[in-house]
Structure 1
Amino acid sequence: MTTSPSGLGEPRGPWFTSPDLADGGTAVRVPPEEAGPATGAADRRWPRLLLAGLALVAVSAGAGGTAGWFAAPDAPDAPAPAAAASPPPSGGAAPVPSDLVTAAARALPGVVSVQVRGGRGGSSGSGFVLDDRGHVVTNDHVVAGGGTVTVVGQDGRRLTARLVGRDPGSDIAVLRVDAGSGLPALPLAPSGQTRVGEPVLAVGSPLGLSGTVTAGIVSALDRPVRLGGGARQSAVQTDASINPGNSGGPLVNARGEVVGVNTAIATLEGGGNIGIGFAIPIERAARVATGLIGRG
């Protein structure tokens, strides 16, 4: 499917398999001997039928679009991890501040729009500066089609970027721009200190609208999903609005530190954001990015 080069697009991707559903998104049918009265069976089945339309998709947008990633527990009946709040970090760590205005001001200068032209029709997404050498982290599915890559900073400057490396299994890619571009690197959150319930911002270019921030909380940690068609891996779940074009942008805490790389959203019947988004934990993203930089 080809879309206009305006940066607009719509989510799309394979069906999400709920733990309550059989493979392929078909509702689990209650055996007659377990169904009970007809009205009771219908009452029990309707939430499962509703979940049959739930899809998890990558959230890049642009001409040609990009693929969604299948996300589900390894087995249909595997229980989802409890979203219990983590205990406060030890070592006298400072409490997370609530001033998201300050966090946005810190993060925005280091976030870029990523635009790919050529290749298999082009695509667009988001990214953020990792270090003072001009390395930019984004999602692999944003750049997988190939082509000329341009990043656009918060100040409107357009910079040509070179692809350093890709890792489809983790859905992480690294770009590089001129180290003298003046784009500031974003600080990364310390390992193990992200907590369920803390406020976060999703920063990026949803629907081509650069410099957009949306607020929410960390809804769950260690949520098992499949990204990039690979093995199951844990993700940060958030209710901050993530939409097409947010792919590769940072999920930041109230200190302006990156806690994850926004990657996918759940949708119902191909619709937009429903408050369930997923980000690659920054510890894993940084580890993969460092390896790509070392080999590139």
Structure 2
Amino acid sequence: MNRSWIVSLVLTIFILGAGVAGSLYFMHTVPDKLAAEAVLDEPTEDGKGEEKVPKTKDIIFQSQKKVVQIKLDDGTIGSGFLYNKKGDIITNAHVVANHKKVTVITVDSKKLTGNVIGTSPDTDVAVVRVPGLKGKDPLPLQTEEKAELLDQVLALGSPLGLQNTVTSGEVSGLNRSFNLKPFKYENVYQISAPISPGNSGGPLIEEKTGEVIGINSAKLGKENIGFSIPIVEVLSLVKNWSETPMKSLPQFPELASGTSDQPEASSPAEEATYLVQYFYTSINQGDFVTAYSLIGSEWQSTKSYEEFRAGYNNTLSVSIDNIIADPKDDHVEVTAFITAEETKQGEVNTKKYKVKYPVGNENNQMKILLGKGEALN
């Protein structure tokens, strides 16, 4: 009995000692290991843990969705951009002068009605409310700091009626002031990004951040010098209109004849060409939802979204080598010669295709009605 009791006591002490030792090991060693492993989740000195800066082409693609063309019944064409989720568009006052309602055309060729809810008699800025855009994500705005000299910028808009044209340049001057009756331009940016009639009201975007820094508003003669109103200078004004729309809009006798931006409207052939180009831009960006929305109901009835997307599973990129638009009585036939990079069994192959698209209006919106293609190699 004494011997058995001694053995039990020894075993008990051994087990207790092992438990204490294990606890001490866990308390002193494991936390150190966990801390060491957690370091892997922290940003490294070379910036690998930092958020990636978006590429310029990605900024352009995302921004284009929120830039619109504005058309008036007197032939005036301008641009604007969505700045809040109420469906409010910022543009220039001279674009919508003497009008209460305008036609707004989105990047996917949808025509919507806009109501002018604010116009300044002095500063060349206005706000148009578009109920059809309510709830859509707006462009981000630079609300605190102003731009600096040589900042790289992008000017988006519809120069000469060519929707969503993008030009690049830099801020080449600051604090420029001048008068173009009836408006006063004070402390505006001078930019080297080319702009033309139709660009007015479009956004000036900071290339690195994708934020709107200005409203493209004027051009100096035939020279490649443009001017953009800093968004920080007018933000309180446009926000006030959004909160409390004007009951009576100011009139501009100087602009009564529609002598503001009056580029020739783009032809159906140009609009159809642009739509097909935007279709492939969406494909290249992996935005199949937008690409699918550009095709007509008849085509969609024969191909579901899942089938449409699956058709590009092996496509890495598509480039348009040549594009021809042939106007018909009720549509435009667009023929595109494209080069596609495709994967097959792990290898990348380049193939060329000839595709034909009849493009026409469907429910007041231009659509790619059908598609037919053939391989050329």
Are 2:201 and 1:263 equivalent residues in the alignment?
Answer: no
Does the CA-based 8 Å contact 2:214-2:230 persist in structure 1? yes
Q: 1:109 aligns to what? A: 65
TM-score after normalising by structure 1: 0.61
Q: 2:152 aligns to what? A: 199
Q: 2:233 aligns to what? A: 284
What amino acid is the match of 1:130?
Y
CA distance in 2, matches of 1:240, 1:261: 13
Cα gap change, 1:276 to 1:251, in 2 (>3 Å): same
Q: Offset at 1:282? A: 0.5
Does the CA-based 8 Å contact 2:99-2:116 persist in structure 1? no
CA distance in 2, matches of 1:232, 1:182: 32
Does the CA-based 8 Å contact 1:138-1:261 persist in structure 2? yes
Are 2:168 and 1:219 equivalent residues in the alignment?
Answer: no
SS in 1 for 2:90: strand
SS in 2 for 1:188: coil
CA distance in 2, matches of 1:180, 1:239: 31
Question: Which moved further from structure 2: 191-200 or 212-221?
Answer: 191-200
Cα gap change, 1:172 to 1:193, in 2 (>3 Å): closer
**CA RMSD of the aligned region, Å?**
2.3
Q: Identity over aligned residues, as a percent? A: 37
Does the CA-based 8 Å contact 1:123-1:142 persist in structure 2? yes
Structure with more contact order per residue of length (Cα contacts < 8 Å, sep ≥ 6): 1
What amino acid is the match of 2:244?
R
Q: Offset at 1:286? A: 1.6
Q: 2:93 aligns to what? A: 140
What amino acid is the match of 1:278?
F
Are 2:167 and 1:167 equivalent residues in the alignment?
Answer: no
What amino acid is the match of 1:133?
K
CA distance in 1, matches of 2:175, 2:240: 22
Cα gap change, 1:230 to 1:126, in 2 (>3 Å): closer
SS in 2 for 1:240: coil
CA distance in 2, matches of 1:292, 1:172: 11
Q: Offset at 1:196? A: 1.0
CA distance in 2, matches of 1:230, 1:142: 12
Q: Deviations over 1:108-134 (max 9, x none)?
A: 1110000111xxx34110000010010
Q: Offset at 1:278? A: 0.2
Q: 1:123 aligns to what? A: 76
Gaps of 5+ in 1: 1-93
Q: 1:239 aligns to what? A: 192
Cα gap change, 1:166 to 1:205, in 2 (>3 Å): same
Q: Offset at 1:192? A: 1.8
CA distance in 2, matches of 1:135, 1:170: 18
CA distance in 1, matches of 2:132, 2:122: 28
**Corresponding residue pairs, total:** 195
Does the CA-based 8 Å contact 1:122-1:145 persist in structure 2? no
CA distance in 2, matches of 1:155, 1:181: 16
Does the CA-based 8 Å contact 1:124-1:142 persist in structure 2? yes
TM-score after normalising by structure 2: 0.48
Q: Offset at 1:100? A: 2.3
Q: Offset at 1:229? A: 2.9
Q: Offset at 1:190? A: 3.6
Greater Rg by CA: 2
Cα gap change, 1:180 to 1:285, in 2 (>3 Å): same
Does the CA-based 8 Å contact 2:146-2:232 persist in structure 1? no
SS in 1 for 2:72: strand
What amino acid is the match of 2:194?
S
Does the CA-based 8 Å contact 1:138-1:249 persist in structure 2? yes
- Please identify which structure carries the higher helix content: 2
What amino acid is the match of 2:227?
F
Q: Offset at 1:208? A: 0.5
